[in-house]
């Protein structure tokens, strides 16, 4: 009996691999080589790679060897060899300025509801990039996330929003209020937001990796991914100097995943970040973003948010590839972000 079951299990596995291979061939007729053709990669290893999100050669070409080793248990030499083969088969690396301009033309800018903030951001929050908002508690980081979750749907009807909530601050009621203010169907707006509560930093990282499945496997038109907050779990879990390097390494990997997700799928990634007090700083702004330069370098746009006069909010653009630094004042209202 037991042996029969094992035999059946083995047979099923063989069938599954065959089907996976055929499916792969049907889906990607043009690609010259697929995962399954990589030397040293059997069906089992290919499946492990796919299960870990390495579904195509591009994802292997851009992965560090250690991640392939973690995913499959393969040796260091093989991992490096696979990456080299994937790289050489992809003609990656250089694009002409013209090609990049074409890519830039596909970038969508989602408006925020405040013209002042849009102007500061060069038109709105962009797809293909990470926009990071950092600031003290109550400065409006979460409210921007809620507002964008609705506005993205207004700009692209039917667009899907993924909301990774680490602090249990996602409020459907706020979505309803903002959608109503925008003249949208609140029920539909809620249906198009996929909320996932992340219980710890590893869970958060896993959720980040799973977004690609929604796009590739479920064919969802994901246009915005919110991670609110990016750093809270990491901050709580890795305390003390000794664990700082590990924390930074993990945040780094998480940011890289998000960045790749945004870039390869033309998705807008919005992350929030707290500030930590810097009692050692007496001059200038005594605050610094958690995660420091690791988060900062991976974000394409960084906005520092603070409370302004009479309940307003002041956004300062800290870092951007092509925009001048500057400030914008807006307010958070029941209907979302508005100019003052």
Strands (E), 34-187: 109-110, 125-126, 129-135, 160-165
143 binds, among Mg ion, ligand GTP, none (CB under 5 to 8 A by kind): ligand GTP
C-beta of 228: minimal distance to Mg ion in Å?
A: 6
Q: Which residues bind ligand GTP (CB under 6 A)?
A: 135, 137-143, 169, 274, 332-334
Number of residues that bind Mg ion (CB under 5 A): 3
CB 226 within 8 A of CB 143: no
327 binds, among Mg ion, ligand GTP, none (CB under 5 to 8 A by kind): none
Report the distance separating Cα 273 and Cα 254, nearest Å. Answer: 14
Report the distance separating Cα 272 and Cα 146, nearest Å. Answer: 12
* Residue 173 or 188 with smaller CB distance to Mg ion: 173
C-beta of 281: minimal distance to ligand GTP in Å?
A: 20
Strands 287-289, 301-307: pairing is unpaired
CB 162 within 8 A of CB 190: no
* Residue 317 or 332 with smaller CB distance to ligand GTP: 332
Please name which of 174, 147, 227, 237 lies closest in space to residue 201, comparing C-alpha atoms.
Answer: 237
* Residue 129 or 315 with smaller CB distance to ligand GTP: 315
* Residue 62 or 142 with smaller CB distance to ligand GTP: 142
Identify which range of 25-33, 169-177, 179-187, 299-307 contacts Mg ion by CB under 5 A: 169-177
C-beta of 274: minimal distance to ligand GTP in Å?
A: 5
Phi then psi for 131, rounded to 5 degrees? -110, 125
C-beta of 95: minimal distance to ligand GTP in Å?
A: 37
Report the distance separating Cα 240 and Cα 235, nearest Å. Answer: 10
C-beta of 112: minimal distance to Mg ion in Å?
A: 16
* Residue 220 or 276 with smaller CB distance to ligand GTP: 276
C-beta of 332: minimal distance to Mg ion in Å?
A: 12
* Residue 169 or 266 with smaller CB distance to Mg ion: 169
Identify which range of 60-68, 72-80, 108-116, 167-175 contacts Mg ion by CB under 5 A: 167-175
Report the distance separating Cα 44 and Cα 29, nearest Å. Answer: 22
Please name which of 204, 192, 281 lies closest in space to residue 235, comparing C-alpha atoms.
Answer: 204
53 binds, among Mg ion, ligand GTP, none (CB under 5 to 8 A by kind): none
C-beta of 139: minimal distance to Mg ion in Å?
A: 9
Strands 326-333, 336-339: pairing is antiparallel
Q: Is 142 in the site for Mg ion (CB under 5 A)?
A: yes
* Residue 50 or 288 with smaller CB distance to ligand GTP: 288
Report the distance separating Cα 71 and Cα 184, nearest Å. Answer: 43
Report the distance separating Cα 89 and Cα 61, nearest Å. Answer: 9
What tokens does 93 get?
């690396």
Report the distance separating Cα 219 and Cα 242, nearest Å. Answer: 42
Please report, as ranges, the residues that interact with Mg ion according to CB under 5 A.
141-142, 169
């Amino acid at each position: 009996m037991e042996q029969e079951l094992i035999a059946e299990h083995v047979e099923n596995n063989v069938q599954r691999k065959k089907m996976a291979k055929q499916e792969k061939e049907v889906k990607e007729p043009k690609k010259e080589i697929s995962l399954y053709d990589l030397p040293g990669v059997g069906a089992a290893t290919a499946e492990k790679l796919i299960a870990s999100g390495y579904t195509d050669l591009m994802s292997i070409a851009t992965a560090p060897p250690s991640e392939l080793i973690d995913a499959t248990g393969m040796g260091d030499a093989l991992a490096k060899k696979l990456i080299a083969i994937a790289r050489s088969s992809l003609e990656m690396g250089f694009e002409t300025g013209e090609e990049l301009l074409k890519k830039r033309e596909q970038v969508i800018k989602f408006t925020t509801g405040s013209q002042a903030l849009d102007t500061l951001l060069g038109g709105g929050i962009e797809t293909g990039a990470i926009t990071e908002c950092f600031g003290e508690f109550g400065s409006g980081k979460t409210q921007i996330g809620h507002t964008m979750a609705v506005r993205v749907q207004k700009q692209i009807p039917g667009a899907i929003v993924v909301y990774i909530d680490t602090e249990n601050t996602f409020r459907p009621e706020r979505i309803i209020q903002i959608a109503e203010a925008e003249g949208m169907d609140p029920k539909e707006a809620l249906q198009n937001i996929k909320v996932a509560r992340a219980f710890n930093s590893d869970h958060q990282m896993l959720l980040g990796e799973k977004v690609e499945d929604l796009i590739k496997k479920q064919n969802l038109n994901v246009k915005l991914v919110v991670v609110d907050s990016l750093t809270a779990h990491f901050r709580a879990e890795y305390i003390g100097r000794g664990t700082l390097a590990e924390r930074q390494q993990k945040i780094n990997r998480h940011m890289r995943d998000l960045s790749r997700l945004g870039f390869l799928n033309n998705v807008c990634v919005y992350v929030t970040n707290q500030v930590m007090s810097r009692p050692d700083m007496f001059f200038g702004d005594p605050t610094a973003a958690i995660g420091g330069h690791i988060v900062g370098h991976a974000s394409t746009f960084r906005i520092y948010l603070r409370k302004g006069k009479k309940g307003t909010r002041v956004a300062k653009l800290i870092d951007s590839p092509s925009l001048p630094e500057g400030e914008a004042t807006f307010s958070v209202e029941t209907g979302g972000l508005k100019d003052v």
